[in-house]
Amino acid sequence: MDDRTQPWDRVPELGGPPPRSRPPVPGASAPSAAEQPAADDATGDVVTERDRSWQSWGEAWSDDDGHEDWDDDAPRGRGFWRSAALGVGELLVTAGMVLLLFVVYEVYVTDFLTAQKQDELATELREQWADEPADARSLTQVELGDAFGVLRIPRLGEDYTRVILEGTEEKQLAQGPGHYVDSALPGEQGNLALAGHRVGKGSPFLELDTMRPGDPIVVETADSWFVYRMLGDPATGDVDADPSGIPGRQIVAPTDVQVVSPTPNAAASAAPTGAYLTLTTCHPRYSARQRMIIHARLDGGAISKAEFPDGPDALYES
């Protein structure tokens, strides 16, 4: 009833003083006097309701022990701290999600991106090899960042093939195993040194620790195959038992650059005593505290791709 009369009652009051505390005027016109109490009630209701809502709002921010003496600023100040804490909490949760996403990126997404890049590189390299005349194919000079060969390691999978690039900067390593600049080229006397990621970026060297002495590591170039075999004693599987004294596998500090010397573990300036291949990756997994190193030696000489288009027998040993 009140609700319905309210708009009607209020219209005549517009512009006038608030009717609230006005005492009834005896001499006033009948309709106005009759309506007055209703108008009072309506206005009174509105005010009370607003008061109540402010009150409850204040209570929500007041202490548990029932502090009611907050002045006007107090609830606002508390609201600020509350939203600040909320904001910090949300930021922390967001930071956690971003870090998780980064882990996903490192472990899975980079694999995907590198696989794409490897496919492109492999296609390009095959086309390049097919286009070049045989006599122009020489590996005497390789530009930084160029793909120049394909690495195959049957122990890491029958279809394990990785295009290798010149250079060991992150730019190259993100695409595949990188060849240490100035280290030997495939088949040359000296040490063909390759670095590759252990986890992420296609994880080319993830399972290097499963390699055993005598395992073939095959490098394919424009016209030849080169078969290297991991050092150590193939009969016993002892990686330290190679007659040359060079271990097949070793864990070293990141600063131990002698592992990529022309003769592994000899001085960098010493003359090479053979054609070696060295793989370096980080160790342990997910860490860069140490390096895992695999050493291998060339087994035989260059194998012509014209004669063995499908690869040397070493690829199909197991």
Active site residues: 197, 282, 291
Contact indicator for 242, 231 with CB cutoff of 8 Å:
yes
Among residues 228, 264, 221, 239, the alpha carbon closest in space to that of 153 is found at 228
Shortest reach from residue 288's CB to other proteins, in Å: 5
* Residue 200 lies near other proteins (rule: CB under 8 A): yes
**Of residues 89 and 301, the one with the C-beta less far from other proteins:** 89
* Residue 107 lies near other proteins (rule: CB under 8 A): no
Shortest reach from residue 194's CB to other proteins, in Å: 10
* Residue 276 lies near other proteins (rule: CB under 8 A): no
Shortest reach from residue 93's CB to other proteins, in Å: 9
* Residue 118 lies near other proteins (rule: CB under 8 A): no
Which residues between 208 and 267 bind other proteins (CB under 8 A)? Answer: 252, 254-257, 259-260
Classify burial at 312, counting beta carbons within 10 Å of its beta carbon; exposed 0-12, middle 13-18, buried 19 or more: buried
Instruction: Find the binder of other proteins among 152, 197, 249, 295 (CB under 8 A).
Output: 197
**Of residues 34 and 257, the one with the C-beta less far from other proteins:** 257
Cα angle 102-254-220, degrees, rounded to a multiple of 5: 80
Strand partners of residue 249? 294
Contact indicator for 213, 239 with CB cutoff of 8 Å:
yes
Instruction: Find the binder of other proteins among 36, 168, 250, 263 (CB under 8 A).
Output: 168
Instruction: Find the binder of other proteins among 25, 85, 101, 268 (CB under 8 A).
Output: 101
Instruction: Find the binder of other proteins among 180, 225, 228, 276 (CB under 8 A).
Output: 180
d(CA 259, CA 173): 19
* Residue 288 lies near other proteins (rule: CB under 8 A): yes
Instruction: Find the binder of other proteins among 287, 301, 304, 316 (CB under 8 A).
Output: 287
d(CA 132, CA 222): 9
- Helical axes 73-104 vs 30-61, angle rounded to 10°: 50
How big is the site for other proteins, counted in residues (CB under 8 A)? 35
Contact indicator for 46, 10 with CB cutoff of 8 Å:
no
d(CA 85, CA 303): 69
Shortest reach from residue 291's CB to other proteins, in Å: 6
* Residue 206 lies near other proteins (rule: CB under 8 A): no
* Residue 28 lies near other proteins (rule: CB under 8 A): no
Give Cα separations from 6 to 2, 31, 114, 171, 261 (angstroms). 6, 15, 74, 77, 97
**Residue 72 amino acid letter:** D
Contacts with other proteins by CB under 8 A lie at 87, 90-91, 98, 101-102, 105-106, 109, 168, 170, 173, 178, 180, 195-198, 200, 205, 252, 254-257, 259-260, 280-282, 286-288, 291, 293
